[in-house]
Amino acid sequence: MQVMHCQCAGLDVHKKSVAVCVLLGEAGPQPQVFRRSFGTTTGALLELHDWLRELGVTHVAMEATGAYWKPVWAILEDSFDLTLSNAAHIKQVPGRKTDQKDADWIADLLRHGLLRKSLVPPTVQQDLRDLTRHRIQVTGDRSAVSNRISKLLEGANVKLGSVASDVMGVSGQRMLDAIIGGETDAEKLAELALGTLRKKHEALVEALRGRIRPHHRTMLRLLMAEWRFLDRLLAETEQAIEEAVGPFMEAVKLLETMPGMKATAAYSLVAELGMNMEVFPDSAHAASWAGICPGNNESAGKRYSGRTRSGNRWLKRTLCQVAWAASHTGGCYFQAQHRRIAAKRGKKRAIVALAHSILVTAYTMLKRRCTYQDLGADYFEKIHAEGLKQYCIRKLEQLGHRVLLESVA
């Protein structure tokens, strides 16, 4: 088998230790083998770095083991050509499993060029990615608490959610605070409404006539405290994102020109996808990595389910949210595409297809450093003009009309 890297090392990374195997030597004779184990503290990893440099190692490979690989990567990334591999792709043969043998196996695969690199973003992008993912988690937690508050009110027969569009809005919070304080008069609670909600005074009074027990007030007080804590946490996270997104503002401004793409979604997209599109050979590879392209499942010439493969779930979620917003943006190509696909294949499949189109568009914009140029809502009508004409004629004839076409000069 051809030797690709003559000075390489394989690392088996764990929480407290790193097993290392170094292979040195040209193709032909057996390589020189050096084996050692190191700790995972910063001092021990720096010692590992110096040892690899002394041996003349140029390429290093390791498994993507939880989060344990990250500090090792941070110490070694400036001095070596690193490869991070999916553990499922380089699984050792059963019965030959030790930490040192795993390191030997990784080094041997790297030596012969049999490892596939995982996409590892730069450190500054990883920082932004951690913040955007945290924002998504906090937003989900806050929504969950809001739902629990709504269910608690339903248990007390308070139908505030049936009248107010947002129970946790300013008016809703004023009423909930009054309920926690012991107020039971529906008229007084309804007077706390602000803005357009005051126009629903009679409906509010009827909805706020419940059976609130001390238990409900206790639970409501605890849930409101949790919701407000998460709300403050979300505000601090968004402020941290604003500070961390500085190096990526050019890409964010480009993405914001797309229909349905707001700043929050652009932050998440840049954090997951990055700015350097050269890491993907083409847009199809980017879509495959994101898990937003159709899957392949064919046997004996028969095609089975084409459901999407697993990929970057954070990126996929953001793309689907943007696709839903774009499908409701009037006069744009994405809305026309959504209507065209949803008519035959349903709204859910249309959203996934639209998310794929948005990713391909974002890839092209970031690679060419250009703003979004919309094809127009009538794009499909233009390229299928003859088919559209025949369709309209056929429908009119089915309704009992006789159609005569006359060209207009």
Residue 352: C-alpha distances to residues 112, 262, 280, 288, 298 (Å)? 39, 19, 21, 13, 21
Query: What is the phi/psi pair of residue 161, to 5°?
Result: -65, -20
Lowest mean pLDDT among 20-34, 228-242, 288-302: 288-302
What is the percent of the chain where pLDDT is above 70? Answer: 98
Contact 334, 354 (CB under 8 A): yes
Lowest mean pLDDT among 210-214, 301-305, 316-320: 301-305
The pLDDT tens digits of the residues spanning 344-356 come to 899 999 999 999 9
- Judge whether residue 337 has pLDDT over 80: yes
Q: In this predicted structure, what is the pLDDT of residue 272?
A: 94
Kindly report the number of other CB atoms within 10 A of residue 378's CB atom: 12
Return the residue matching tokens 């020109």: 257
Give the residue among 204, 202, 221, 225 at the shortest CA–CA distance from 152: 221
Degrees to nearest 5, angle at CA 152 with 147 and 155 = 130
- Judge whether residue 298 has pLDDT over 80: no
How far apart are the C-alpha atoms of 281 and 284, rounded to whole Å?
8
> Average pLDDT, whole number, for the chain?
91
Q: Which two tokens stand for residue 400?
A: 């009992």
How far apart are the C-alpha atoms of 59 and 117, rounded to whole Å?
12
- Judge whether residue 409 has pLDDT over 70: no
Tell me the CA end-to-end span of the chain in Å, nearest whole number. 72
**SS3 label, residue 184:** coil
Q: Stretch 212-240: mean pLDDT, rounded?
A: 96
Amino acid letter, residue 103: A
How far apart are the C-alpha atoms of 399 and 383, rounded to whole Å?
26
Contact 144, 35 (CB under 8 A): no
How far apart are the C-alpha atoms of 297 and 306, rounded to whole Å?
6
Q: In this predicted structure, what is the pLDDT of residue 194?
A: 93
Count the helices and strands in the chain (H runs, E runs): 17, 7
Query: What is the phi/psi pair of residue 311, to 5°?
Result: -150, -145
Q: In this predicted structure, what is the pLDDT of residue 28?
A: 66
CATH 3.40.50.10490 describes domain 7-111: no
The model's pTM is 0.83
Q: Stretch 223-243: mean pLDDT, rounded?
A: 97
Q: In this predicted structure, what is the pLDDT of residue 236?
A: 97
Which residues, other chains included, contact 362 with Cβ-Cβ below 8 Å and sequence gap of 6+? 255, 258, 269, 273
The pLDDT tens digits of the residues spanning 125-151 come to 989 999 999 999 999 999 999 999 999
Query: For strand 17-24 and strand 302-303, is the pairing parallel, antiparallel, or unpaired?
Result: unpaired
Domain boundaries, the chain: 7-111, 124-244, 247-368
Q: Residue 379, Cα to own-chain centre: how many angstroms?
A: 29
The pLDDT tens digits of the residues spanning 78-116 come to 999 999 988 877 776 666 688 899 999 999 999 988 888
How far apart are the C-alpha atoms of 349 and 351, rounded to whole Å?
5
**pLDDT tier, 404 (very low <50, low <70, confident <90, very high otherwise):** confident
Lowest mean pLDDT among 154-158, 167-171, 183-187, 302-306: 302-306
HSE-CB for 275 with a 13 A CA cutoff: 18
HSE-CB for 179 with a 13 A CA cutoff: 31
Q: Which residues pair with 12 in a beta bridge?
A: 19
Which DSSP letter does residue 165 get? S
Give the residue among 151, 150, 144, 186 at the shortest CA–CA distance from 166: 150
- Judge whether residue 160 has pLDDT over 90: yes
Q: In this predicted structure, what is the pLDDT of residue 94?
A: 65
Which residues, other chains included, contact 177 with Cβ-Cβ below 8 Å and sequence gap of 6+? 224
The pLDDT tens digits of the residues spanning 161-215 come to 999 999 999 999 999 999 999 998 999 999 999 999 999 999 999 999 999 999 9
